[in-house]
Amino acid sequence: MKRHLIFFLFLFCALMAVDGRNNPQLVDKRMHFADIYKEPEIAHFSDVPRYIFYEGELHNYVIYTFTIQDRSTLFMANMMGTDTDYTSFRLNYRPLNSTGRFRKKSYSSDSHKVKEVLSNQDKFNFTFDEDLTQVHLHSPVLYEVLEPGEYELYSVASEDTKKPTKRLETNIYLSPVGVNEYTSVDIGHFTRNFSQEIRLGTFSGGDVYCKFSLDSINMISVVPLDTIGVNPILKMETLYRSLVSSNEYPLNENSLPQIKDFRCGVGDFYIHAYYPDSAYRKPKLRVTGIVDNAGIDWEHPLEVGSFSDSLDYSTFYYPYMFVPSGSSSRPCVYHRFTIKDTMDISIISEEYLNNITLYDSTRHLVRKEEKDDYLTSLDVFGLSPGTYFFVTEGGNGTIVIKVKGKKSVQQLSDIKNYVSTEKSIINTPFASDLQGPLSATREIDYLDPFGRTEQTIQYGITPALNSLVNRKEYDRMYRDSCSWLPAVCPGSGDYVSSSDFRKHILELYNDEYACEKSLYDGSPLNRLTEKYNPGKDWHTTGHSEKVSYQTNSGTSQIRLFEVNGEKDNPVLSQKGFYATGELVVEEKKDEAGLPTLTYTNKLEQTIVSRTISGADTLDTYQVYDDFGNLAFVLPPMAVSSLQTLGQKDALDLYAYQYRYDELNHYRGKKLPGAEWIDMYFDKDGKLLRSRDGEMRKRNEWKCTFYDKLRREVVTGIYKGMMSYSSSASVEFAPDKPNNHYGYLFSSYLKMDSLNIQKVAYYDTYQYKKANSCFTAAMDYIDSNDYGHRFGDDSEQLNCKNLQTGVMTRIIGTDQMLCTSTYYDYFQRPVQVRSTDINGKVHVQNMAYDFCDHITASNDKVENISLVQTKTYDHAGRLLTEARLVNDLVSDTLRYNYDELGHIANVKRVNGNHSLTSTNRYNLRGWLTSIESPLFSQKLYYTDGIGIPCYNGNISSMTWKTSANPDIRGYRFEYDLLSRLKNATYGEGETLSLNVNRFNEQITGYDKNGNILGLKRSGQTSANGYGLVDNLSVTLSGNQLKRVDDSVSGSAFGDNFNFKDGVKQNTEYFYDANGNLSKDLNKKII
């Protein structure tokens, strides 16, 4: 039975095949659905497949036909929605207008092409209706670019007899290529120079588009590689604008149209090729891009050039090139130029711009012209030499920029008297070269009709080559009334009017009180009574320096001291008190209102300086002998101790005492807590010998010897008393016998009692003959990289009065260290050779600029060298310091200054690492902050959260670190003598968090300002804070005698606190000169 069934099926199929072969209607069951020109086509079909015998085979499919008439077309087909898998596509092709057979072009039975389709979906001029991410592996997908021609698409059903395909779902997408910007051929995205050969497919004339994108400005060139029939017209376009056409360029060397070096900015661009005929062709283009970022930022400006006498420059650009595609921001174009002379500059735009801004080489603003609608020019007169940037902003269309400049003639005022002082800073023999601030410093003093300085201009002195202008104003009594802080003004040094000066003051300080105002009494003496220092905080709050004048009264109780005895042994005695009206009293109050009274006698000698702390007065007396020499200075503790300690002890512990010889030279002086220092001078005032308390114990004198030109040449220690007949003059005679280190001493001097400590040589290098330590290694050796010596050792004139050599003894030994110094023609040391304690020779070479600044130095010993290089600006400000150890860069420091000359920031560079710290100042030049990535600190004076201090005291300070970004700080309190009392710790913006953890409190001072007690708080446990020190101080005079700490134990983690190591009446000991010799608490014995 089965065999019969199989036979009948075979017979049925054979009959069907024969029927199909002989029935044309079955062969031609195709569905023609589109003729594609320039419009895209989307087709969805749902058909029942059937078996058809075609070309000798039996097929179960549906056939769809379409024609592509005009150009290459993107084609995609899928069978998503078909009820079975294992279907397939076959695509056949034959040329247009052909009667030949279709030939197989491609085949697909799976979805391997789907990833490529999804990655290129944006190339179709529509979106797909199916979710291709869900396509099954065995569901076919076709994707390719089709050339013009006739096509058959076979949608073939599954051959699975167990699950036959009931209906085929066929989805077809056709999108012509290059019809417009949206279907353009994508060349690619370029980040660097490129050259691409582009094949645009097959086209029958008309328009074709390709696209590329840039992330930097490029110079773009386009040229066709081959043409058929006629040459195309090439255009560069953006999505909304036509930019340039090949009609604007001549044909290239191959007589082909071209776009040559057209500047394109960041964004997407389109090449539009138009072929005026209808011939089919496969065009190719070469597109070349060369990166050119000129003009986009500070680092890549459009270079205008460098100019000396005049400047005449013109350029044009398209603003869109400097704005990323699709951005709505204004285009900004950066230009740079250098002028070598002071010039009057005009920057002119022939099209409308919004802004033109001029900056100096450090990017500081010089001049800005800004308008909401348009701007055509910016003019600057007297622009100093240097490098400048100007930035043009805004505009449409083609922007033409012209820069013109002419050399400024420095025109000083012809209606003001002035004195101009110039100093060259470059090496030139021509005065005509000294025109600008880069070639000479120039200070101009403008005088009023009475010869008083009204205005002082330091021409071009600032880092930006502007001028600093100081102005003084006088009242109707011809007295100094107002002295302004310096203003920063451009220009050529001409007199600055009062209105312009005030304008510049406000621009710089933002404070109309940037001046010092003086007020006077109404007497003929014109005495100053009040002075307001610069700053609104002082002027508007009455915090001025005040002065009043009077005479002493009986309640002043000013002691009258006299000096009796001999000049070399004065004796202090008190003769009661000064009578009323004997002394002139000048009372000065600082800006915090703290008074200081100065009492002066009729000889204008200051007798007493008095400060007041509540009910207590602190007096410092100055006592003179009959010759007007200052014999005693009695600090407050000395005065108050005269009765309690007695005169001798009070003077020894607290007073400064002086003795004089008959020529009024010092014979001796005694400092508090030390023994007398004896001194002897010759009649010319040269110190011959001296000894302190320790030398007195050893019976030694320090002696100084001079040559015939009264220069100090030898110093030494003499044992015993020198004979008065011993001359302090020595003779340099290295060739004579009995010389000592080249010098002949007096025959009356016992040389075996003299231990020479230092010997100096001048004028020549003859000393080398008398000293064996000056070996050949100490001789000069020239170095090409540094300054050069003038002459040689025989040179007699160039080194006159210059120190050429030194010998210094190592204390306690017979070894002498030697140094030789060599000079250039300008008498600057260019090489120094010296020996060290190990006998090694150190060599230091130096180089200088024209202004005598050291620009390079090299310190070398054996195979180790340290090279330091420095650069300076035109005003002598240090700009860079670089150090190299053994030719390897160690570190570099770079300094930047504000226009007033303050250090604005310091950049430390070490290899690839750098650290920049920035300083800020208030208008009085007081440092207000230091900021760096690692540490930042702020100082407050009249502001902040502490009690305002108007006299320069710091009221509070805060700091933070990178490791601990929380703000920490202190508030400070001072007593009536401006001495620190309390430092209160806190955290947070207002220092109100974790308060008092690390407080410092000074519990008392004596009258000399010595601390008597100190309390410190700190960490006492892992989570606890409290008192870690409570110190009470015992003094002997001004010297520390004993310190007791009533807090037992140490701070947590052995943090800083005082270690009270011993408990004795005397814990600190001093030698006869007042130097600390023992500290028992620190175990220094």
User: What integer pLDDT is reported at residue 281 of this predicted model?
Assistant: 80
Residue owning tokens 């220690």 = 717
Which amino acid, residue 796? Q
Using alpha carbons, list the distances in angstroms from residue 1060 to 517, 992, 1031, 1043: 53, 33, 9, 7
CATH of domain 28-176: 2.60.120.1050
User: What integer pLDDT is reported at residue 434 of this predicted model?
Assistant: 78
Length of the chain: 1085
d(CA 578, CA 576): 7
User: Is pLDDT of 717 > 80?
Assistant: yes
Min mean pLDDT across 278-287, 580-589, 800-809, 830-839 is at: 278-287
Q: Say which residue, 532 or 274, is predicted with more confidence.
A: 532
- Domain ranges for the chain, please list them: 28-176, 182-291, 302-407, 417-521, 543-672, 923-1079
User: What integer pLDDT is reported at residue 37 of this predicted model?
Assistant: 87
Side-chain-side CA neighbours of 837 within 13 Å: the count stands at 4
Assigned architecture for domain 182-291? Sandwich (2.60)
d(CA 376, CA 351): 7
Residue owning tokens 């979710």 = 131
Hey, which residues does 886 pair with through a beta bridge?
A: none
The radius of gyration of the chain's CA atoms, rounded to the nearest angstrom, is: 48
- The count of other CB atoms within 10 Å of the CB of residue 813 is 8
Model confidence pLDDT, tens digit, residues 1008-1067: 999 999 999 999 988 899 999 999 999 999 999 999 999 987 778 777 788 888 999 999
Min mean pLDDT across 389-393, 638-642, 931-935 is at: 389-393
DSSP 8-state secondary structure symbol assigned to residue 203: B
The whole-angstrom distance between residue 1076's C-alpha and the CA centroid of its chain comes to: 44
CB-based burial of residue 10 (10 Å sphere; 0-12 exposed, 13-18 middle, 19+ buried)? exposed
DSSP 8-state secondary structure symbol assigned to residue 789: -
Q: Which residues contact 568 (CB under 8 A, 6 or more apart)?
A: 659, 660, 661, 667, 668
User: At 163, is the pLDDT very low, low, confident or very high (cuts 50, 70, 90)?
Assistant: low
User: At 605, is the pLDDT very low, low, confident or very high (cuts 50, 70, 90)?
Assistant: very high
User: What integer pLDDT is reported at residue 51 of this predicted model?
Assistant: 67
**Angle of CA points 83, 89, 91, to nearest 5°:** 155
Common-topology check for domains 182-291 and 302-407: yes
Tell me the two tokens of residue 602: 């009729």
User: At 889, is the pLDDT very low, low, confident or very high (cuts 50, 70, 90)?
Assistant: confident
d(CA 925, CA 939): 13
d(CA 371, CA 385): 28
Fold of 302-407: Jelly Rolls (2.60.120)
User: Is pLDDT of 27 > 60?
Assistant: no
d(CA 898, CA 904): 6
User: What integer pLDDT is reported at residue 410 of this predicted model?
Assistant: 64
Q: What sign has the CA pseudo-torsion 1028, 1032, 1037, 1040?
A: negative
Hey, which residues does 150 pair with through a beta bridge?
A: 67, 94
**Dihedral pair phi/psi, residue 724, rounded to 5°:** -65, -20
Q: What does the pLDDT average to over 978-995?
A: 96
**557 phi-psi bin (left φ>0, alpha ψ -120 to 50, beta other):** left
The answer to whether 171 and 46 have CB atoms below 8 angstroms apart is no
First to last CA, the chain: 130
The answer to whether 1076 and 1067 have CB atoms below 8 angstroms apart is no
Across 161-175, 630-644, 882-896, which has the greatest mean pLDDT? 630-644
